[in-house]
Chain A
Amino acid sequence: MRTIVIACCGLLLCTTTAGAQVADTTLRADTLSYDDAAEVAYLYNLPAALRATRDLTVPGSQTVEGDLSVLEASLTVAGHVTGRVVVINGDVTLSPGARIDGDLVVTGGEVHGADSASVGGALKLYRPVMLYRLEGDRVVAVRDEGRNVANWFRRWKRRHERSVSRIKLKGGTYNRVEGMPVLFGPSIRSNNALGPLRVEALGIYRSADGFAWKGDNLGYTANAEMQFGYGRGVAVGVDAFDVVQAAEPWQLRDSEIGLASFFLRRDYRDYYNRKGWRGYLAFREGKSLSLTLGYSRERWQPRAARDPFTLFRNSADWRANPVMDAGRFELVDATIAYDTRNNVDNPWTGWLIVANVEHGWSPEVLLGPASPAARPEPSSPASLDYTRGFLDARRYNRISPQSQLNLRLVLGGWLGGDALPLERRFALGGAGTLPGYDFRDATSGPDVLTCNDGTAIPGSPAQCERMALLQAEYRGNLRFHLFGGAGAEGWNWSFYHPLQWVVFADAGRGWLLHEHDGDGLLRGTSTFPSLDTFKSDIGIGLDAEVLGVFIAKSLTDAGNPINFSVRLRHRF
């Protein structure tokens, strides 16, 4: 009985094996390397008994004596192939009882019925489509550039995030105090498991006075920062610096200041020297949210305007750089930045909010010249202990597919303690704030733009202790449909030239925190000024995304002429 069972099992096994002779070597791959493709092409190009470029069937009654090659077509085998079968980019169906004595090599397809057929050699199935070109009847494998391109592109996109050590040479913003500051030195970024480490130490050499080698022309800036985490994380850093610092950098961009200075000899900022160090702790949530806490010890010194070269108006005088307060300060500050704009360069929706609070103190400050109204009780040197806040909030709104309404509110000023040092005061007027008013130009009536009482002070420094500015603009696309329109089958298309027309309005003023009462005595005030004391303007312009031209007219001072301004990128 046992002998019969074993014999039956053996017979069954033999029958099964004879019906579906599985290949000795079976490879089923989801990738196809160039080397594999070249091998397949080589096999295809060998002399074959039968070649096909259309769907082919080998009937059960047929025997192909030799190799069989098929290109871009399907193959069905019911009969017998005595050699190798190569199918490039096609499916293979093996009928029950089909027989291939050699290898079966397939790319870009599937093999059906292998279990019920006989493959004497290896079965190699590469599922990806093989890239090739034809040279006559020969197939030549082609590298999959798509994959190479993708790898290269990934590296290119991350080029600024790679570990790198280099010597950096760059220029700062051209201005009337430094000319062209040239920065030179090593810069290192090292990525590690915790996050990126950045170290940079740049010397500063200024072009004013013909690049003369002297103290005024030399400075430095260095930074070391370790961020724990990529994208989001906590960063700890320290800065050391001896730099020329702009007092109100929020009004115009660096590029605009540099261009106006270099070409037109007009510098719309004031400067002072900052020397010291700062440590900070930053919490970063990607690019949309950050909170930075800092502590610094630094020495502030006035800087005088010099006479750097300009392309035009080279013989005209520069506006004097105001003499600001001088002393050693300790500062603690907190800054929050929140950015949800859909596009940084050309936003159509989202918020951009930057808020900063700074507390500073100094035991001894040499006060710079200011008008009696702005600094009623000057006693220099004086100790200072102040708190100041600053808010720049922008909202971008799309109101139709082709138009938007954007708003900006800027608030800044004294929050507590002593009066603000001149480096931390405000002024309005000019292309960046109220373009209907000239920069640092006295207005009729009380000066609510620089808060001067008529005292002649070189450079007309900003003296306001508080400031409020509201800007609004309506933008509409100028679209040209010379090459576009509605096509057949519901296609809509257009060629778009990035040009917008703009209508805008601005209102703002600065103010002091004390005023003379009826008896001529000074008294503090914390009330918000009446809205009818604000200066306002309206204007129109054309904005080509990277460059805009605008005209603006004061509404509150009818005698002011119409002002023309050129801006790089949008107004805000």
Chain B
Amino acid sequence: MLRPPLLTFILLLLAAPFVAPLAAPLAAQRDARLMVALPAEVELTRRAPAVSAQNVLGDRRLEELLHSGFPARLHFKVELWSADGVFDALKSEAEWDVIVRYNPLERRYSAARIVEEHAVSLGSSTSFDSVQAAVARPYRPSIRLPSGSGRFYYIVMLDVEMLSVNDIDEVERWLRGELSPAVRGERSAGTALSRGAKTLVTRLLGGRSQHYEARTRVFRGK
């Protein structure tokens, strides 16, 4: 017998393919894209793929938060997988961050790429579009194919978050019933509850903390 919750579930299941794309534009405003491009065939073993994130700060809420002084963190992770065995194997990975900040005094945006302990300025500008363009410049991380032949593919993940709001942590604290956000942020428990609920919803809809993923085709290494 179908019980009411089950009926709801089946409706959810049927509606998902239609609902999810409706939610997607929240995060995909202004055509946000994460892209990964393989090097030329002859350079596959010598060069890393080029990673580029375009318009990922284009969400108006992100832009408003950034303009209010909250730094944005773009956390990139590239994984190289081998597709030869029964199970795909993770061969190597590389991570880096891009931090974008707005200085209200100088009215300038600035961006920096941070790889391990090394930072490279990506530029500084009074124009939001210019700093977006700087962030979108392709970058080749230090990741290489292993020696020997095989079938491989790269997966690139990007998480965009505003650093003052670590969404998942806050939601989990809220779900555990902790009052820490209210205490730490000097806001009321009621506010913490409503923020937690709002964060959960926005996160589910691909909101303030956004996740992107892209991958290359499976290719053969030399």
Interface residues of A, Cβ cutoff 8 Å to B: 131, 133, 142-147, 149-154, 156, 168-174, 180, 182, 254-255, 258-259, 262, 342, 345, 348-349, 397-401, 405, 478, 480, 482-484, 487, 489-499, 540, 542, 544-547, 549, 551, 561-562, 564, 568
B213: interface (CB < 8 Å): yes
- A247 → chain B closest CB, angstroms: 19
Q: Which residues of B contact A152 (CB under 8 A)?
A: 71, 99, 101
Asked if B200 contacts A169 (CB within 8 A), the reply is no
Asked if A493 contacts B36 (CB within 8 A), the reply is yes
Closest chain B residue to A495 by CB distance? B28
B59: interface (CB < 8 Å): no
Pick the 4 closest A-B CB pairs, nearest first: A146-B121, A150-B119, A145-B110, A146-B112
- B157 → chain A closest CB, angstroms: 8
Q: Which residues of A contact B177 (CB under 8 A)?
A: 171-174, 180, 258, 262
A403–B120 CA distance with the chains assembled, in angstroms: 36
Asked if B81 contacts A149 (CB within 8 A), the reply is no
Q: Which residues of A contact B122 (CB under 8 A)?
A: 146
A105–B141 CA distance with the chains assembled, in angstroms: 35
Q: Which residues of A contact B36 (CB under 8 A)?
A: 491-493
Residue from the set B89, B178, B211 with the largest chain A CB neighbour count within 10 Å: B178
Number of interface residues of B (CB under 8 A): 79
Closest chain B residue to A562 by CB distance? B6
Cβ 8 A contact of A131, one of B119, B121, B175: B121
Known interface pairs A258-B177, A401-B81, A551-B6. Does A154 touch B21 (Cβ–Cβ under 8 Å)? no
Asked if B119 contacts A149 (CB within 8 A), the reply is yes
- A308 → chain B closest CB, angstroms: 11
Closest chain B residue to A207 by CB distance? B177
Asked if B120 contacts A492 (CB within 8 A), the reply is no
Q: Which residues of A contact B6 (CB under 8 A)?
A: 551, 562, 564
Q: Mark B101-124, 1 if CB is under 8 A from A, else 0.
A: 101001010111010010111101
Asked if B119 contacts A146 (CB within 8 A), the reply is yes
A144–B112 CA distance with the chains assembled, in angstroms: 10
- A462 → chain B closest CB, angstroms: 23
Cβ 8 A contact of B155, one of A144, A147, A401, A551: A401
Cβ 8 A contact of B179, one of A169, A258, A499: A169
Known interface pairs A484-B33, A499-B16, A542-B12. Does A401 touch B215 (Cβ–Cβ under 8 Å)? yes
Asked if B176 contacts A172 (CB within 8 A), the reply is yes
A547–B114 CA distance with the chains assembled, in angstroms: 32
Q: Which residues of B contact A349 (CB under 8 A)?
A: 87-90
A558–B23 CA distance with the chains assembled, in angstroms: 38
Asked if A492 contacts B119 (CB within 8 A), the reply is no
Asked if A171 contacts B176 (CB within 8 A), the reply is yes
Q: Which residues of B contact A549 (CB under 8 A)?
A: 9, 12
| Besides A146-B119, A172-B177, A173-B177, 13 other A-B contacts (C-beta < 8 A) | A142-B124, A146-B120, A149-B71, A150-B119, A401-B218, A480-B21, A483-B31, A492-B214, A493-B35, A495-B24, A497-B23, A497-B24, A542-B13
A497–B206 CA distance with the chains assembled, in angstroms: 7
Q: Which residues of B contact A562 (CB under 8 A)?
A: 2-3, 6
Asked if B34 contacts A493 (CB within 8 A), the reply is yes
- B27 → chain A closest CB, angstroms: 7
Cβ 8 A contact of B108, one of A145, A170, A173: A145
Asked if A153 contacts B38 (CB within 8 A), the reply is no
Closest chain B residue to A551 by CB distance? B9
Asked if B175 contacts A259 (CB within 8 A), the reply is yes
Known interface pairs A255-B172, A483-B24, A490-B38. Does A153 touch B31 (Cβ–Cβ under 8 Å)? no
Q: Mark B147-179, 1 if CB is under 8 A from A, else 0.
A: 000000101000000010000100111011111
Q: Which residues of A contact B38 (CB under 8 A)?
A: 490
A255–B178 CA distance with the chains assembled, in angstroms: 10
Q: Which residues of A contact B86 (CB under 8 A)?
A: 399
A174–B174 CA distance with the chains assembled, in angstroms: 11
A345–B166 CA distance with the chains assembled, in angstroms: 14
Q: Mark B37-65, 1 if CB is under 8 A from A, else 0.
A: 11000000000000000000000000000
